[in-house]
């Protein structure tokens, strides 16, 4: 019998419901081509879940995810929910999903596509050939450390507190993912921290350094986060794989994404020790263009390709999707976010049609 996979879809908010179907169609086509079958079930998360249930991550959604082989998420958030109390914010749902599924490793590739070089705000010679993988720790650090909250002091003043904390084991497990990722790529790993100021970063640096003897084929370096931010825009080609904590990774992965000029093209994978991963585009829910057939579905489609590669072990099908994305770009199809002179401006639906045509060829 053909291999079967159960996929949970979390369209979320904004352009999510427009781009998820494009990825589903692409997955279905390659499933037929490579002889595996996918079944899809849909769950609520983010603002959509708040509207329906009052909770940005209903228990039912988490259960659905746990009982599937993999999860494809679009994006969450929008103006409508921005002023709700924190426990009812879409972002809280996303953090709950990461914590609930134990997704401690977030892989965010930033690869310059030759067709889109001119979309970068940096000079061609700086970005041509950039191929970076940011490995961001995703369930620890200052996002989750205790204590956290806004407390009243003895003088009646309010004091907001978050705690940046990492344990040995949290550092070791993300370090392992990062070293192994670097091994499969260019063999260079740069660990980013703030060890000149923060104790938690000193521990991070010590642990990562200690691990490096197990990976003699990986060249390890360290940068302070401020310098890393500068180097990323000054000379990004020096980087191969970057490993860093949750907050630094949040910031640096956005900067790395923008090197490519097109955040609308970047996929990501969030992985745990076992169980399903969550695959999502790096871009957000883009509420300003939602429902207007303007969204770029390609990052969602490339996220589905990452899912095939990492969770479902269907590398050939992943290659097929990635190749089809290159084909539509070569043919000049561009959504507004990646549009440049002389190219053919299309909406989400037309991009989808072009992609399916390329996949079926
Ligand atoms: C990201 C986002 C999230 C984060 C937000 C939406 C909670 O910025 O995935 O990078 O900060 O992790
Ligand atoms: Mg972010």
Please identify which residue in the block is written with the tokens 């310098």.
227
Average pLDDT over residues 277-288: 95
Ligand 1 neighbourhood includes 250 CB (under 6 angstroms): yes
* Identical fold, 1-105+266-361 and 131-258: yes
The 10s digit of each residue's pLDDT in 213-232 is 999 999 999 999 999 999 99
**Nearest one of 73, 59, 64 to 14, comparing CA atoms:** 73
- What is the per-residue pLDDT for 169? 98
For position 99, what pLDDT does the model report? 95
Angle, helices 315-330/298-310, rounded to nearest 10 degrees? 160
pLDDT at 119 over 90: no
Name the helix (H) or strand (E) containing 159: strand 158-163
DSSP 313: -
Instruction: Give φ, ψ of 164 to 5 degrees.
Output: -90, 115
Find the mean pLDDT for residues 94-100: 96
> How far is 204 from 245, CA to CA, in rounded Å?
9
Instruction: Name the residues annotated as catalytic.
Output: 143, 194, 226, 250, 254
3-state secondary structure of 8: strand
Nearest protein CA to atom 7 of ligand 1, as residue: 91
Ligand 1 atom, smallest distance to 138 CA: 12
What is the distance in A from the centroid of ligand 2 to the CA of 36?
A: 34
Sign, CA dihedral 304-309-311-317, equals positive
Report which ligand 1 atom has the smallest distance to the Cα of 95: 7
Q: Which of 335, 237, 353, 356 is nearest to 283 (CA)?
A: 335
Contact 91 CB / ligand 1 (< 6 Å): yes
Of 117, 12, 118, nearest in space to 71 by CA: 12
Q: Which residues neighbour ligand 2 (ion) by CB within 5 Å?
A: 250
94 within ligand 1 shell (Cβ under 6 A): yes
Taking the centre of ligand 1 as the mean of its atom positions, its distance from the CA of residue 250, in whole angstroms, is 6
Please give the CATH architecture assigned to the domain spanning 1-105+266-361. Answer: 3-Layer(aba) Sandwich (3.40)
Report CA(37)–ligand 1 centroid distance (Å). Answer: 32
- The average pLDDT across 181-202 equals 97
- Ligand 1: which atom is nearest the Cα of residue 268? 9
Domain regions of the chain by residue span? 1-105+266-361, 131-258
* Mutate-to-test residue for ligand 1 from 76, 90, 250, highest number of ligand atoms within 8 A of CB: 250
Q: Is 280 in the pocket of ligand 1 (CB under 6 A)?
A: no
Q: What is the pLDDT of residue 17?
A: 98
φ/ψ bin of 280: left (φ > 0), alpha (ψ from -120 to 50), beta (otherwise): beta
Q: In sequence order, what DSSP letters do the residues of 272-295 get, joined into one string?
A: -SSS--EEEESS---GGGTTTT--
Ligand 1: which of 14, 75, 94 to mutate, judged by most atoms within 8 Å of the beta carbon? 94
Question: What is the C-alpha separation between 332 and 345, in angstroms, rounded?
Answer: 8
pLDDT tens readout for residues 17-60: 999 999 999 999 999 999 999 999 999 999 999 999 999 999 99
pLDDT of residue 120: 87
96 Cβ closer than 6 Å to some ligand 1 atom: no
Task: Classify domain 131-258 at the CATH superfamily level.
Answer: Isopropylmalate Dehydrogenase (3.40.718.10)
Angstrom distance (rounded) from CA 132 to CA 81:
33
Residue of minimum CA distance from atom 2 in ligand 1: 250
Ligand 1, residue 98: give the atom nearest the CA: 12
* Residue 340, φ and ψ in degrees, nearest 5: -145, 170
CA atoms of 299 and 312, how far apart (whole Å) = 18
pTM of the model: 0.94
Compute the average pLDDT of residues 185-211. 98
Copy the structure tokens of residue 294.
């303007």
Tell me how far apart the terminal alpha carbons of the chain are, to the nearest angstrom. 26
Burial status of residue 183 (CB atoms within 10 A of its CB: 0-12, 13-18, 19 or more): middle
Residues 275 and 100: beta-carbon distance below 8 Å: no
29 Cβ neighbours under 8 A, 6+ residues apart? 356, 359, 360
CA 9 / ligand 1 centre spacing (Å):
19
For residue 355, name the pLDDT band (cuts at 50, 70, 90). Answer: very high
* C-alpha torsion sign, points 29, 31, 37, 41: negative
Of 10, 81, 91, 136, the one to substitute when testing ligand 1's pocket (max ligand atoms within 8 A of C-beta) is 91
Average pLDDT of the chain is 96
What's the whole-number mean pLDDT along residues 295-310?
A: 97
How far, in Å, is the centroid of ligand 2 from the Cα of 193? 17
């Amino acid at each position: 019998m053909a291999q079967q996979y159960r996929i949970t879809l979390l369209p979320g908010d904004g352009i999510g419901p427009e781009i998820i179907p494009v990825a589903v169609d692409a997955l279905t086509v390659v499933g037929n081509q490579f002889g595996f079958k996918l079944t899809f079930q849909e769950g609520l998360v983010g603002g959509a879940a708040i509207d329906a249930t009052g909770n940005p991550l209903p228990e039912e959604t988490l259960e659905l995810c746990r009982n599937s082989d993999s999860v494809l998420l679009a994006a969450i958030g929008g103006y409508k929910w921005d002023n709700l109390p924190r426990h009812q914010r879409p972002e809280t749902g996303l953090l709950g999903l990461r914590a609930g599924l134990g997704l401690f490793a977030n892989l965010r590739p930033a690869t310059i596509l030759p067709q889109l070089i001119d979309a970068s705000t940096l000079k061609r010679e700086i970005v041509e050939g950039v191929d970076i993988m940011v490995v961001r720790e995703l369930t620890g650090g200052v996002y989750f450390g205790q204590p956290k909250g806004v407390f009243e002091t003895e003088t009646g003043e309010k004091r907001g507190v978050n705690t940046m904390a990492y344990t040995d084991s949290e550092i070791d497990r993300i370090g392992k993912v990062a070293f192994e990722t670097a091994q499969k790529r260019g063999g260079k790993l740069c660990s980013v921290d703030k060890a000149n100021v923060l104790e938690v970063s000193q521990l991070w640096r010590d642990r990562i350094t200690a691990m490096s003897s197990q990976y003699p084929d990986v060249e390890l370096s360290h940068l302070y986060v401020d310098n890393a931010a500068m180097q990323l825009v000054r000379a990004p080609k020096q980087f191969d794989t970057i490993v860093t904590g949750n907050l630094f990774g949040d910031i640096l992965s956005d900067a790395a994404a923008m090197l490519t000029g097109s955040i609308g093209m970047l996929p990501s994978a969030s992985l745990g020790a076992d169980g399903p991963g969550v695959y999502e585009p790096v871009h957000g829910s883009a509420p300003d263009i939602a429902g207007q057939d303007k969204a770029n579905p390609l990052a969602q489609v490339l996220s589905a390709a990452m899912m095939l590669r990492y969770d479902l072990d269907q590398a050939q099908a992943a290659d097929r999707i990635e190749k089809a994305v290159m084909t539509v770009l070569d043919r000049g199809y561009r959504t507004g976010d990646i549009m440049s002179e002389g190219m053919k401006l299309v909406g989400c639906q037309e991009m989808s049609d072009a992609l399916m045509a390329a996949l079926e060829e």
